[in-house]
Amino acid sequence: MNHELIIILDFGGQYNQLIARRVRDLGVYCEVLSYETDLEEIKAKNPKGIIFTGGPSVVTDENAPRISKEIFEMGIPILGICYGVQLMAYLNGGVVEASEHREYGKTSLKVDSKNKLFDGVLEDTICFMSHTYYISKVPENFKVIATTEACPTAAICNEERNLYGVQFHPEVTHTTEGDKILSNFLYKICNCSGDWVMKDVANKIVESLKEKLDGKKVLCALSGGVDSTVAAIMVHRAIGKNLTCIYVDTGLMRLNESDEVEAMFSGYDLNFIRVDAGERFLSKLKNISDPETKRKIIGEEFIRVFEEEAKKIGTVDYLVQGTIYPDVIESGTKHSAVIKSHHNVGGLPDVVDFKEIVEPLRDLFKDEVRKVGLALDIPESLVFRQPFPGPGLAIRIIGDITEEKLEILRKTDYIFRDEIKNAGLDREIWQYFTVLTGLRSVGVMGDERTYGYTIALRGVNSVDAMSAEFARIPYDILEKISVRLVNEVRDVNRVVYDITSKPPSTIEWE
Ligand code: XMP
């Protein structure tokens, strides 16, 4: 697919993904690349502009991340942000020094609104600053175009060479006119036209899939989650009946979930195979309590079921995966301890005989996938589905898994979701579900002693699941949920709310 491109060179700043989001929201496609990327590679991508991100280093340090000075000679407009502008100044002969006044947070900014970068921006505005070093001497042929009380070089530029830089962070919402500033860079300095519009993007992806896959046999492992669903529907648009989707019902799904997925796909002219493998999974999981063992068993069994089905179809040309952009950025850069073995229906390449993987969503962020999904008329109930783990309800039952416990968990999960929807919070809370704790406790109902299960409610807000905060659900809504759970689900006599964030907890209990 050919789009106008902005390259974001990553110098280790904490807001890099945010810069990418802003640029895309402003209608221009962008990619985040390491600062170590070869200049030839950058040139070959033919970007309309380059953004240097912030970063924790000091440009004068020996080991600071740098880039070849030649980048400034490529004739491509560059915007440096925070560390990025200091690097730009330093490499062009300016001086960067520790500042006497560290600036952090919302700061008054005076800009030269006659400059293209600040076109339409108020002369007295607010920016978000976070720096201890500053440019004490601007390079030759650069001029100052913004100041704060403590920073005489809050923005600089060399208009002839299209080099611009800001000490503050335009990508952070505290910079009240940050979007305007980024938009000026994209549209007035890089001369972008703004061709990253989700409806067009969806159509373009389908067109390119058509070209690539016409007449070929394609297989998709469908989880019912938003990524694999949108990926499958796009491929279906492109090649119709040549697509086969395999959906494995592990018996660990939520109430009516498998029927909903099947009903949705029955509206399309494709081969949909639903494998009801609940019994198989449950028998393998019998008497297993250890979380990692559960995960391993489920992952392996899933692959086995999938493999058996795929064999029936024979050789396929392509396997569809719902990989999205954050997966692409993160892969290969993470060196972390295994906290949980994640099971993903995407991870199947070894077991299917195919020639190539197609990943129609690998350029998109999650909310862009959702916009594309809506543009393709996929029902909102699927497009806005909250994340659901591959091992399903198995990792929300503490201890061994039985049909009876699954039944209790399905009902409680359904009621929790129903009440969150009734309260109008279903788009506000990122993920929410119930956990059947391994705990039984004493209660009293209708003058009788009970000895029932304790249900934990888990509700979190997060951006990328790497960290999460427990959701502040109002007490009266929690009360309503608690009353319904105990009244409507047999064997439940106590409800608790999980008020830990991640870290130190994780989102799921196992
Ligand atoms: P944790 O519990 O690690 O979960 O904080 C982070 C996010 O990932 C989801 N999750 C999974 N997703 N396969 C998946 O596809 C898995 O094995 C898996 N385990 C957890 C979890 O629901 C949360 O959104």
Average pLDDT in the chain: 93
- For the Cβ of 454 lying below 6 angstroms from any atom of ligand 1, the answer is no
| pLDDT exceeds cutoff 70 at 115 | yes
CA of 289 from ligand 1 middle (Å) equals 18
- For the Cβ of 137 lying below 6 angstroms from any atom of ligand 1, the answer is no
Q: How far apart, in whole angstroms, are the C-alpha atoms of residue 123 and residue 33?
A: 33
pLDDT in tens, 392-404: 999 999 999 999 9
Phi, psi of 175 (to 5 degrees): -80, 100
What 3 state SS string does 188-210 have? HHCCCCCCCCHHHHHHHHHHHHH
Looking at residue 73, its pLDDT comes to 96
CA of 466 from ligand 1 middle (Å) equals 10
| Closest ligand 1 atom, residue 505 Cα | 5
- For the Cβ of 465 lying below 6 angstroms from any atom of ligand 1, the answer is yes
Asked if 164 contacts 138 with a C-beta cutoff of 8 angstroms, the reply is no
| Closest ligand 1 atom, residue 431 Cα | 24
Q: Whose CA is nearest to atom 14 of ligand 1?
A: 389
Q: How far apart, in whole angstroms, are the C-alpha atoms of residue 372 and residue 360?
A: 11
Looking at residue 367, its pLDDT comes to 86
Q: What is the mean pLDDT of residues 52-81?
A: 96
| pLDDT exceeds cutoff 80 at 216 | yes
Looking at residue 194, its pLDDT comes to 96
| Closest ligand 1 atom, residue 386 Cα | 24
| pLDDT exceeds cutoff 70 at 14 | yes
Looking at residue 330, its pLDDT comes to 57
**Axis-axis angle for helices 226-239, 257-266 (nearest 10):** 20
Q: What is the mean pLDDT of residues 176-180?
A: 97
| Closest ligand 1 atom, residue 343 Cα | 17
Looking at residue 102, its pLDDT comes to 87
| pLDDT exceeds cutoff 90 at 340 | no
- For the Cβ of 505 lying below 6 angstroms from any atom of ligand 1, the answer is no
- Beta strands across the sheet bearing 243-249: 271-276, 243-249, 218-222, 318-320, 356-358
| pLDDT exceeds cutoff 80 at 81 | yes
Asked if 224 contacts 257 with a C-beta cutoff of 8 angstroms, the reply is yes
User: Catalytic positions, please?
Assistant: 82, 169, 171
CA of 379 from ligand 1 middle (Å) equals 24
- For the Cβ of 366 lying below 6 angstroms from any atom of ligand 1, the answer is no
| Closest ligand 1 atom, residue 462 Cα | 24
Looking at residue 62, its pLDDT comes to 92
Higher-pLDDT residue of 453 and 331 is 453
Looking at residue 329, its pLDDT comes to 65
Q: How far apart, in whole angstroms, are the C-alpha atoms of residue 370 and residue 230?
A: 8
Please report how many Cα atoms fall inside a 13 Å half-sphere around the Cα of residue 158, on the Cβ side. 21
- For the Cβ of 459 lying below 6 angstroms from any atom of ligand 1, the answer is no
Question: How is residue 56 written in tokens?
Answer: 């924790």
Q: Whose CA is nearest to atom 20 of ligand 1?
A: 389
CA of 50 from ligand 1 middle (Å) equals 34
- Ligand 1, pocket-test mutation among 388, 507, 509, 510, most atoms within 8 A of CB: 507
Reported confidence tier of residue 337, pLDDT bands at 50, 70, 90: low
Question: How is residue 60 written in tokens?
Answer: 């004068």
What 3 state SS string does 434-447 have? EEEEEEEEEEEECC
Q: What is the DSSP-derived secondary structure letter of residue 102?
A: E
Choice among 213-222, 251-260, 289-298, 329-338 with the minimum mean pLDDT: 329-338
Q: How far apart, in whole angstroms, are the C-alpha atoms of residue 329 and residue 344?
A: 17
Tell me the pairing of strands 163-166 and 356-358: unpaired
**For residues 67-101, b (16+ Cβ closer than 10 Å) or e, as one string?**
beeebbeeebbbbbbbbbbbbbbbbbebebeebee
- For the Cβ of 344 lying below 6 angstroms from any atom of ligand 1, the answer is yes
pTM of the predicted protein model: 0.79
Q: Whose CA is nearest to atom 24 of ligand 1?
A: 387
| pLDDT exceeds cutoff 90 at 234 | yes
Q: Whose CA is nearest to atom 21 of ligand 1?
A: 389
